Amino acid sequence: MKKKFYFFLVLGFFVLVIVGVLLWLGLSEDTERVTPGVKFEAPKYYVIKDGPDGKIVENKHAGINLKAPAGWEVEKREIGPDEWIVNFNSPDLTTDEAGFLATGCGFSIWIEYDKTTADIVRNSIQDPEKYSASISGRYDVLGISGHQSLRTIFDKKGWGKIVGIEIPKGEMIYRLDTVFLPDEEGKCSEFFDKFLDNIFIY
């Protein structure tokens, strides 16, 4: 997946956490803003290994293990100065000439350190219905590896469904996001649900 696609995906969820509006691929109703003071997890802490039935990502520093679906590729990618994410790409993933997702499935995960942001996510988890009123999508709460997470869903006509997951732990926020293309939603959502079930946070 090309750098441009993930840059806008990541930028979108910065704005989502702070102002409750997703700026993704220029489709947000809000103006551009950035989150100050956020520190990304260093790439050296993401260790990619071959497992018996797919790639495994271990991060002992942040206390999280992830398992890719069988046959998927996993890559670390820098999307800005000292800003790294880990991409999980299905074998049939392709992008168009502009660098946007054209076919297949893809997930991204990254870890941020910022107490203010983590507290905002925790507050939203306490009353997702209340905070949903401030965005064009909706929030709900999802349990992942014994932790409560905030799930954000945006349905964008022509683009498909955008899903973001935020899991606060102390001053950390584990972040995951994906987009389900209209013709791929059934397959990709099933992969994503299984991916979330296999996350281990410790």
- Dihedral of CA atoms 96, 34, 109, 138 in degrees, nearest 10, equals -90
| C-alpha to C-alpha distance for 96 and 94, rounded to whole angstroms | 7
**pLDDT for 128-141, tens place per residue?**
988 888 788 899 99
CA proximity to 164, closest of 181, 174, 178? 178
Per-residue pLDDT for 30 more than 80? no
Give first-to-last CA distance, the chain, whole Å.
29
**pLDDT for 64-112, tens place per residue?**
999 999 999 999 999 999 999 999 999 999 988 887 889 999 999 999 9
Per-residue pLDDT for 33 more than 60? no
Neighbours of 80 (CB within 10 A): 12
Q: Give the residue numbers spanning the domain of 178.
A: 3-201
Cα-Cα-Cα-Cα dihedral sign, residues 112, 131, 18, 182: positive
CA proximity to 109, closest of 64, 49, 51? 64
Provide the whole-model pTM: 0.81
| C-alpha to C-alpha distance for 91 and 72, rounded to whole angstroms | 6
CA proximity to 64, closest of 163, 193, 196? 196
| Residues sharing a CB contact under 8 Å with residue 141, sequence separation 6 or more, in sequence order | 125, 128, 148, 149, 150, 151
Residues of the chain with pLDDT > 70, as a percent, come to: 82
Q: 122: domain CATH number? A: 3.40.1000.10
The alpha-helical segments, DSSP class H, found in the chain are: 3-19, 115-126, 128-132, 185-197
3-class SS of residue 152: strand
Task: Give the mean pLDDT of 4-9.
Answer: 42
Domain count, the chain: 1
Confidence (pLDDT) at 75: 97
Per-residue pLDDT for 25 more than 80? no
Residues of the chain with pLDDT > 90, as a percent, come to: 71
The model's confidence at residue 4, banded by pLDDT at 50, 70 and 90, is: very low
| Residues sharing a CB contact under 8 Å with residue 193, sequence separation 6 or more, in sequence order | none
Neighbours of 50 (CB within 10 A): 9
Per-residue pLDDT for 35 more than 60? no
